[in-house]
Chains A and B, each alone.
Chain A
């Protein structure tokens, strides 16, 4: 397959890939997540959603006895600041 054909295929596929985004954005969604300005979300919860989802599904529950260890691992992996680690600790194991 030539490069030109592939480029044409790519440009054809791009709108298809982005279609669900446009669809969701256009309808406003059935249950959109409120923005940070719209609600007084806990800082730890906001960090939790923002940082975890950069790589994976945010975990629903983690035993408090393991939270400190898991967050040390995550801080190393995601290069989180110590302030963020402290806020996440407070949120996940208050």
Chain B
């Protein structure tokens, strides 16, 4: 699609969404509640011992999320990451050497106008597929290694510098429809590098089935003007302790999918008090390069199977472990991960307890 028709289509969609919002916006009366709106520092401590193709690495990590509300409609939020990466001097022998990397993952201001419109400005995580925005935090991801196709729609570093409109387009007793639409300017600012691009995401959530199906689309407005798309499914059936996530992504450099059914063993009939804290997570993924691959994606056909075993001491503290086998021409490898994650939420201001 040429740039002008694309921009016209883009503006038409935005105008239609805003018109719908104006027609439907009916803020409910505020509910009496003891909820406080104090600034919050949240985040995760994590430590991973990784062995990739026989080479061990120690990876201590801290992710911090700062949330500063201004009333109940404006929120300033930012995430910073401290990531240590220490490997043996001679890959498999010698002392561990390395460094700690620091990065700002995003910094944005949200205006929660009403049900249908949340306006975001700044450097925000790209809402492409399931992973980048929703599953990437250290304490959420079931397997520590990201899917191969995580690079699709999230280059160069997972954020957009610009504006985004998002919200709940329609909500009924049986389903809800969510949308995101964004534009990003090109930026070379240190830590906030972004491409010039436009994109969107829409999903429908079927409440009774707890099934979500969504589609992401992105068009870069620079250089090759690449189109990227992602189709995803998320399902948490009520009667079975399963959390199924799957996604298929396609871009100029390749296409691939991953499927990850996470099982909580709470229905094992023996030693229930132990097994209800245990989670088993297999993940299967395949990637096929197109046009030579690259751009943070493999250049050869790649398949990978992982299986993880996690134990939740509490909802915010868990032991994690996984084994993965990667199949790639002349680069087959075993990948092991063992470690723990701990999530914290600290109020930064005294208030009601």
Contacts and interface: CB of A to CB of B under 8 A. Distances in A.
Answer whether A and B are interacting partners.
yes
A7 B72 CA distance: 51
A67 B35 CA distance: 5
A77 B180 contact: no
Interface string B99-136: 00000000000101011001010000000000001110
A94 B33 contact: yes
Given A17-B282, A21-B242, A66-B345, A73 B315 contact: no
Interface string A63-74: 111111111110
A67 to B, nearest CB: 4
Given A10-B284, A50-B210, A94-B34, A1 B110 contact: no
A93 B234 contact: no
Contacts of A17: 259, 261, 282, 284
B185 interface: no
Interface string B313-346: 0111000000000010000000000000000010
A50 to B, nearest CB: 6
B223 interface: no
Contacts of B168: 79-81
B31 A86 contact: yes
A52 B166 CA distance: 18
Interface in A39-94: 50, 53-60, 62-73, 75-84, 86-87, 89-90, 92-94
A71 B259 CA distance: 29
A35 B210 CA distance: 12
A59 B261 CA distance: 21
B35 A71 contact: yes
B352 A57 contact: no
B280 interface: yes
A13 B305 CA distance: 10
Q: Considering residues B33, B72, B210, B240, which has the most beta carbons from chain A within 10 angstroms of its beta carbon?
A: B33
Contacts of A25: 239-240
B241 to A, nearest CB: 7
Contacts of B135: 55
Contact of B36 (A3, A56, A93): A93
A83 B268 CA distance: 37
Given A6-B286, A65-B351, A76 B303 contact: no
Contact of A27 (B37, B234, B269): B269
Contacts, number: 180
Contact of A30 (B35, B234, B272): B272
A70 B34 contact: no
Contacts of B75: 69, 72-73, 76
A64 B36 contact: yes
Contact of B243 (A10, A53, A84, A90): A53
A19 to B, nearest CB: 10
B157 interface: no
B236 A53 contact: yes
B178 interface: yes
B212 interface: yes
Contacts of B133: 77
Interface of A: 1, 3, 6, 10, 13, 17-18, 20-21, 24-25, 27, 29-33, 35-36, 50, 53-60, 62-73, 75-84, 86-87, 89-90, 92-94
Given A10-B284, A53-B210, 14 more contacts: A18-B261, A20-B280, A27-B267, A29-B239, A29-B267, A30-B266, A31-B267, A64-B34, A68-B72, A69-B75, A72-B72, A73-B77, A78-B178, A90-B32
Interface of B: 27-28, 30-40, 42, 65, 67, 69, 72, 75, 77, 110, 112, 114-115, 118, 120, 133-135, 137, 139-140, 166-168, 171, 176, 178-180, 205, 207, 210, 212, 234, 236, 238-243, 259, 261, 263, 265-269, 272, 280, 282, 284, 286, 301, 303, 305, 312, 314-316, 327, 345, 347, 351-353
17 contacts: A13-B305, A21-B263, A24-B267, A29-B267, A30-B268, A56-B140, A63-B345, A68-B35, A68-B37, A70-B40, A71-B35, A79-B167, A81-B115, A81-B171, A87-B31, A93-B35, A93-B36
